[in-house]
Amino acid sequence: MLAYLAFTAAAAAADVAGALLVVTAHRRGRAPLRYFVAAGAGFMLAAAFVRMLPESAHVPHAFLFVLIGYFGVHLFEHTVAPHFHFGEEVHPEALLAPSAGYLALLGLGVHTLFDGVAIAAGFMIGPALGALISIAVFLHKVPEGFTIASVMLAGGGSRRAAVGAGAVLGALTIVGAVATSFVAEQHVGVALALSAGVTIYVAASDLIPEVNREGGPALAWTVFGGLVLFALADWLLAPLGGH
């Protein structure tokens, strides 16, 4: 079943699209991205709590792996990288050390690796779960590529470096998915538990804070829009089976 590769490739392309948006589009053209961040947060949390956690709960120490996934992202995005947050990089002073931009790329790279792990693990359990996780990943991919490209530009990098960083994230997503396809069937639950922890961190600790910081009731309501979208997608995908 190679469907996971098609969905992963689309997600990787969205990373590049997000990066291209930074180097090409007019500033005002970027505003709608905030709504993808908000809807993505709602959708991802619903997917993690309603589908990913229950599907991996039978694995021994499942919730330990969830915790490792959660804090693994915190470790790489916020301690190894000296300055990282989702959304446009508006603090060039925090990126004065040339290494800061590349450490942010490393931090976000670990998270994107697990975007691929999540999609592949989902499809190994069933097409409905795989498609649901793919939507969860896809919703935050364009803002993700946007984020890393703006980090590179703020750190003094060229436009080519900015788009290249988006391409690196896309490539890591594909690597994560392909590597997971080699995981033995009985260990897929571990991969899913780890990526559930990653998904919860990205949604609740990276995306929601951005929604709250940017403010505005319309943006805050969009998080619930993500929940509604999840319920709809879950219902429409159910006939495919797999959860």
Binding footprint of Zn ion on the chain (CB under 5 A):
89, 91, 115, 144
Cα three-residue angle 221-225-167, rounded to 5 degrees: 105
Q: How many CB atoms lie within 10 A of CB 54?
A: 12
SS3 25: coil
Rounded to the nearest whole angstrom, what is the least distance from the CB of residue 24 to Zn ion in the complex? 21
C-alpha–C-alpha distance, residues 121 and 92, integer Å: 37
Rounded to the nearest whole angstrom, what is the least distance from the CB of residue 165 to Zn ion in the complex? 14
Rounded to the nearest whole angstrom, what is the least distance from the CB of residue 28 to Zn ion in the complex? 20
Cα three-residue angle 105-108-140, rounded to 5 degrees: 125
Task: Name the residue nearer to Zn ion (CB basis): 115 or 210.
Answer: 115
Task: Name the residue nearer to Zn ion (CB basis): 27 or 58.
Answer: 27
Task: Name the residue nearer to Zn ion (CB basis): 92 or 241.
Answer: 92
Rounded to the nearest whole angstrom, what is the least distance from the CB of residue 91 to Zn ion in the complex? 3
Q: How many CB atoms lie within 10 A of CB 53?
A: 19
Task: Name the residue nearer to Zn ion (CB basis): 59 or 81.
Answer: 81
CB contact burial 76-103 (16+ within 10 A = b; e otherwise)? bbbeebebbbbbbbeeeebbeeeebbbb
Task: Name the residue nearer to Zn ion (CB basis): 77 or 115.
Answer: 115
C-alpha–C-alpha distance, residues 12 and 54, integer Å: 27
Helix extents (H) in 76-158 = 98-125, 127-154
Rounded to the nearest whole angstrom, what is the least distance from the CB of residue 141 to Zn ion in the complex? 6
The residue at minimum Cβ distance from Zn ion is 91
